[in-house]
Structure 1
Amino acid sequence: MIARAWRDESGIALIMALVTLFVLSLTLVTVLDFSAANARSARFSASDQRAVSLAESGFNDAAAILMSAPDPSLSSALPGTPTGTAPREGGTVVYSGTKSGNLWTITATSSVPNPTGGSPLTHTVSGQVQVTPSDPLASNLAWNYVFSDTTTSCMQIQNSYSLAAPLYVRGNLCMSGNNTFTGALLDVRGSVQVRDPSNIGSAGSPIPKVRVANGCRAGTSGSFVTPCGTAQRVYTSSFEAVPPDISKPPIDIARWYEEAKPGPKHYCTSGTFPGGSSKFDPDNGTAQDWDAGTINLTGSNYSCAVYGGVVLKGLIAYNSGILSIFGTIFFDGDISLGGNQDILYTGRGVIYARNVTIRNHTTLCGVTSCNQTTWDPATNLLLLVAGGAGATAYTLENNTRFQGAIYAVGGSSLQNSSEHQGPIITDSVSVQNNGNLYSWPPLTDLLIGMPQFTPAPPSAAYIPGSWRG
């Protein structure tokens, strides 16, 4: 009986069914749990990717704001603390910028909900943007030279002279007399003629750079030769046949007739000027016609200032040998200085007139004794603008010295033991009879009121390879 019971298999099917059901149930639970985990992982991955995209979009927004800013060089162009952008689908993003010199570092951080219910998912990216500031001097290179604009005649340098300033000639240059050009740079867009015994540089002191477009010759006949060399009486360490194309900056006489302070339309609000407002313009600001006669800036002591509220807008004053200037000043006539005067000017400013004449043992300088090594144009700089179109709108003659800048619509003449230190921009330059042009400390900026081209605006550009995140 017992043996027969062990051999009876009639209940095995139920056991097998139960085992199979258990295995299938376990498999189903595993599959469901795995599917749920995959779904959670997919949602987490999608949210994480969303955080990355939001952070990148925040960076792009900040970079776009910076690159479209009127002046991206200002530290206020981007907020220094995290600032939110416009609402974004699925999360938020903030950005900020820090500036060091002309380099911006932009940081953006996003936040999106965590699909698992934990802390929000965040992502931070950063990158750098380089700012190229506006550079007025780069757009107005003529202020680095004694600049002769005419292309219809030869710039004449003759008799006894000393020419130690950088020189730019848009036309031709003609040198004669027992003299040597010793400036650091010579640019001539026409040709150069050097008559014996004149020289450009010397064997012992060659000019660092000479650039002449149409060649040089020694004497008044023969072909012009390129490159210019010792056979043409040119001694240089570097010669090029392609000088830069630099133009004379434009002048806006009408604007400064209207806006100068003091000037025809803005007389002194504090103090007076000798002769009253008619010395600025007899027409009292109604007609710009150069009819104010000749004005002596240093004939007697005075002070004439223009204020806007409590803010000083412009000043011209003279007291016992010291001429004080600030801002842009306009006289609708001529300026003449002369008569054994040693004048020291202080401050930085621009004075407009028709013709400017300095003569007869007069010095007008930004430092004592017109010392080249101690003059700092960033501290003291006087620009005299001669708006007349005559051949000698600016005249320096008879044992005189001027340390400053000159702009002349017409021509300029330096002669008879005269000395000029500083840039000159003029239609033509005549240097003769011991006229002297000397170098000067480079200008670091341009004054308001200086004739100039509008500089390129500042710009900003992303630096490749600076991306982090």
Structure 2
Amino acid sequence: KPPVDPNWYYNAKPGPRHPCTVGSFPGGFDNDSSPNVSRTVVNLTPSTAYDCRVYDADGNLEGQLTWAPGSPGTLTMAGTIYFDGPIEFRQYNNAVYHGRATIHAAGDIVFANQSTLCGDPQCDADWDPQQDLLAFVSGGNVRVGQQSNFQGAIYATLDYTEQNNSTFWGPIIARRVSLANSTVNHYVPIGTLMPGMPASYEDVVTITTEPGSWG
């Protein structure tokens, strides 16, 4: 599989070397200025709101991570984002995301049982990844718990696991993929790869459905 570019630790906006220029993220993106998986578990959907944005010198938005709690909550993001630690979505989490971004976690990424994170409010075939797409890149494993739902793209440096009755929309790249009973997977084409997504080539790559194939 394509390798993960370690330079995103230094280049991600927001990330350890480019923190928020407006607002903040609870706990920050690292805790010791070294790429060593030292940050504690990141909760992207806490009970309180946050707003983190990175603007360049001309006032152009380069990256964003904003959370508004609710039922469902709303996660708005842009750019390539990096956390020097693991990410966990807690049980009964229910969120809809807006925007297109790649989020790197130096550690594992875990969706606890009965958690939902989708680009479409109904988490169904109306999802348009050309408009809303979240790509997770894990330096470890990715685990999707029972009765959980996710729409997006997953890259796991190690292994990917889906537990019973979970539903996933999008592509998966991992060393090993394990799907338990009654899992449902829709391999939705996501179009052109976003910045921050692992690739082993310099040309722009677009993923589309091949005529006559299963989408």
- TM (norm. structure 2) is 0.88
Counterpart residue number, 1:96: none
- CA deviation map 1:304-348 (0-9, x unaligned): 011112011110010020001100000000000022122000000
- The equivalent residue for 1:289 is 36
Per the alignment, residue 65 of structure 2 pairs with: 316
Q: 1:448 aligns with which of 172, 195, 206?
A: 195
Question: Contact 1:414/1:436 (CA < 8 Å) preserved in 2?
Answer: no
For residues 357 and 456 of structure 1, what CA distance do their matches in structure 2 show? 31
1:456–1:331 Cα change, 3 Å = closer
Letter in 1 for 2:200: F
1:414: how far off? 0.4
Structure 1 runs of 4+ aligned residues shifted over 4 Å read none
Identity of aligned residues (%): 40
Q: Give 1:369's aligned residue.
A: 122
Q: Does 1:273 align with 2:22?
A: no
Find 1:432's aligned residue among 169, 180, 194. 180
Structure that is richer in helix per residue? 1
Q: Which amino acid in the other structure matches residue 311 of structure 1?
A: N
SS at match of 1:368: coil
CA distance change for structure 1 residues 311 and 431 in 2, over 3 Å: closer, same or farther?
A: same
User: Partner of 2:103 in structure 1?
Assistant: 351
Q: State the structure with more CA Rg.
A: 1
Contact in 2 for aligned 1:324/1:345 (Cα 8 Å): yes
Structure 2 CA distance for aligned equivalents of residues 456 and 418 of structure 1: 34
Distance 1:456 1:375 in 2: 27
Shift of 1:456: 4.3
CA distance in 2, matches of 1:343, 1:418: 16
Assess if the C-alpha contact under 8 Å between 1:366 and 1:403 holds in 2: yes
Alignment correspondent of 2:147: 399
Q: Distance in 2 between matches of 1:444 and 1:383?
A: 12
Please name the residue that 1:337 is paired with: 89
For residue 15 of structure 2, what is the amino acid of its counterpart? Answer: G
Distance in 2 (CA, whole Å) between partners of 1:360 and 1:430 is 16
The C-alpha deviation readout for 1:66-90, integer Å capped at 9, x for no partner, is xxxxxxxxxxxxxxxxxxxxxxxxx
Q: CA deviation at 1:434?
A: 2.3
RMSD value, Cα: 1.3
Write out per-residue CA displacement over residues 135-175 of structure 1, whole angstroms, 9 at most, x where no aligned residue.
Answer: xxxxxxxxxxxxxxxxxxxxxxxxxxxxxxxxxxxxxxxxx
Q: Which residue of 1 aligns with 2:3?
A: 250
Aligned residue type for 2:66: A
Trace 1:77-226 onto structure 2 (pairs within 5 A): none
Per-residue deviation at 1:427? 0.4
Residue 381 (structure 1) shift: 0.3
Task: Tell me the TM-score normalised to structure 1 length.
Answer: 0.41
Aligned AA (2:65): I
Contact 1:420 1:438 survives alignment (8 Å): yes
Higher strand share: 2
Is the CA contact (8 Å cut-off) linking 1:346 and 1:380 kept in structure 2? yes
Per the alignment, residue 160 of structure 1 pairs with none
Find the counterpart in structure 2 of residue 414 from structure 1. Answer: 162
- Counterpart of 2:192 in 1: which secondary structure? coil
Q: Which amino acid aligns with 1:317?
A: T
Which residue of structure 1 aligns with residue 210 of structure 2? none
| 1:454 to partner: Cα distance | 2.3
Gap regions ≥5 residues in structure 1: 1-247, 458-469
The residue that corresponds to 2:212 in the other structure is none
Q: Secondary structure of 2:9's match?
A: helix
SS in 1 for 2:10: helix
Residue of structure 2 equivalent to 1:64: none
Task: List runs of 5+ in structure 2 lacking aligned partners.
Answer: 205-215
Cα offset, 1:274, TM superposition: 1.4
Give the SS at the match of 1:413: strand
